[in-house]
Structure 1
């Protein structure tokens, strides 16, 4: 992919070789938001859309969409360097874009935002009263105590325990395996196709277009997960009933005390399978990483997904923001 030169900076292709570079800068961002990992960005970006540049000692991740440039994360690095890099990043985006409306920094975590707002430069508040920027609250990550997902204690989880017990009773011939890309890839792709066919029947008409857009992106993400599974350092679990795959899930560690579930899909018609594999994968992540928390990402704005994630009683709901410049 060709490089992009803007404002004296070279934006390079964001690909698998970028992983060690980005991870070095992520060391200064020990946050439990799912977007702050190389893999979470790599799998969702098409090969032609991702770019990065090192600006003021920070890692800056850009995405080109329809010819317009924006940022998928705030600059990564030491806080002082990150805050100082923001104006330069907007200059880069504005030089490329047809309108400053398209210049934005997405998935800004609250810790970064708080520091940005109160950041001082030569004794003056950088953007006092948000004079120069607009902050818009977007989606939020759902974060759970890992032991809660494993033990499912108390009345709040009664329904989950019932669904799992019924699954084990109805399908005593189930078996779990660690995900093996060579062994399971074809079955995973077939299950995903079946899930799409089953799920779209229940999508409200107003959400169909967004659902189909999301499916295209998710299919790409699954393909990249399987293709680069070992290099990305992912963990996964599959569940079979007899010789038929009924569910799979993929995750990773994202910070010192938190693991993340990137993707989970189960046969829509196999009741209790989703609850069962989610609990079992929580065990895998807790055992491997001794993680106190598990992040399952945001709800993408889908009301049904929000209900499911709320039903597991999240310990934290962490908001994410987008930063715009005022016109």
Structure 2
């Protein structure tokens, strides 16, 4: 993969070699948003589309889509350096893009946003900054208390307990194993193929066509996850029923007491499997990694996914913003 040079700024390909560099700068910021990890971005980025540079002492991650540059994250670094870095990054995107309207910075957490819109070193006021930039609240990350996910106490979790109990009763011979890519790769890919087939089966034709267009990226992400599992420092479980993998979940630790779920899939025909593996993953994270909170990411704007994530009664919702140019 070749470097990309824009406005005399060299942007390097976002490969595994960037892991140590990105994590060095991640250590300078306090975050519990699921998007702020190397693994999550590396897994989901398509081949050859990610680029990075260190700008004004900040790690800056860009993505190229249809020839236009955007940023997947705000510049990562000490707060005193981020505002200048943001302005420089918009300059780079503008120099590359066919229109300034394409330039944007996604997944900006509120603390970084506050730093950006307050008075700058150049004396520019908040009103002058917002004259040039538009800040829009987008999605929220759903963060849960691990203890609540394990115990599932109270009426709010009655349905979850019932589904898990039915699963355990229906499949007493099920087995949970720590994910091993050598042993489990084929079974995970087979389950994913079945999951896609089952989803399409019950969709209207027009919805299925849109769904299949996006499934290529998810298949790529799972293959990336399996190929670089150990290097990325991931944590995962699989569930077996009758010698077949019927569910898997993969996540990572994002700070001292918070972990995130990156990818999870279960067989639709196995009722209660999704609820059961989520609880077991929560137990595993608490017991072996001392995790107190789990961030399951956002709902991508899908109403059904929002309902599922809200049904687990989030401990908190973490807003994420996008910065545009006016």
Question: Is the structural similarity TM-score above 0.5?
Answer: yes
Partner of 2:5: 5
Partner of 2:273: 273
Partner of 1:300: 300
Deviation, 1:218, is: 1.1
Mapped partners of 2:256, 2:116: distance in 1 = 23
Partner of 1:135: 135
Deviation, 1:74, is: 0.3
- 1:26-65 to structure 2, matched below 5 A, reads 26-65=26-65
CA separation of 1:21 and 1:128: change in aligned 2, threshold 3 A: same
Mapped partners of 1:295, 1:202: distance in 2 = 29
Is 1:100 matched with 2:100?
yes
Partner of 2:88: 88
Partner of 1:158: 158
CA separation of 1:254 and 1:128: change in aligned 2, threshold 3 A: same
Task: Tell me the secondary structure at the aligned position of residue 85 of structure 2.
Answer: helix
Q: Deviations over 1:11-46 (max 9, x none)?
A: 000001110000000001221100000001000111
Count of aligned residue pairs for this structure pair: 326
Task: Tell me the secondary structure at the aligned position of residue 229 of structure 1.
Answer: coil
Task: Mark the runs of 5 or more structure 2 residues left unpaired by the alignment.
Answer: none
Task: Tell me the secondary structure at the aligned position of residue 140 of structure 2.
Answer: strand
Q: Deviations over 1:104-134 (max 9, x none)?
A: 1111111211221124324442554611101
Mapped partners of 1:311, 1:41: distance in 2 = 27
Q: Which 10-residue stretch deviates more, 78-87 or 196-205?
A: 196-205
Mapped partners of 1:264, 1:134: distance in 2 = 34
CA separation of 1:269 and 1:106: change in aligned 2, threshold 3 A: same
CA separation of 1:31 and 1:203: change in aligned 2, threshold 3 A: farther
- 1:1-327 to structure 2, matched below 5 A, reads 1-125=1-125, 128=128, 130-203=130-203, 207-326=207-326
Task: Tell me the secondary structure at the aligned position of residue 264 of structure 2.
Answer: strand
Mapped partners of 1:30, 1:256: distance in 2 = 11
CA separation of 1:104 and 1:185: change in aligned 2, threshold 3 A: same
Deviation, 1:139, is: 1.6
Q: Under a length normalisation based on structure 1, what TM-score does the superposition of the two structures give?
A: 0.96
Deviation, 1:273, is: 0.4
Q: Deviations over 1:238-293 (max 9, x none)?
A: 00012111100000001222100101100000000000000000111112221221
Q: Deviations over 1:177-223 (max 9, x none)?
A: 00000000000000000001111234466754553343211111110
Q: Deviations over 1:133-165 (max 9, x none)?
A: 011221211110111111111110011001000
Task: Tell me the secondary structure at the aligned position of residue 231 of structure 2.
Answer: helix
CA separation of 1:119 and 1:256: change in aligned 2, threshold 3 A: farther
Q: Under a length normalisation based on structure 2, what TM-score does the superposition of the two structures give?
A: 0.96
Mapped partners of 1:107, 1:131: distance in 2 = 21
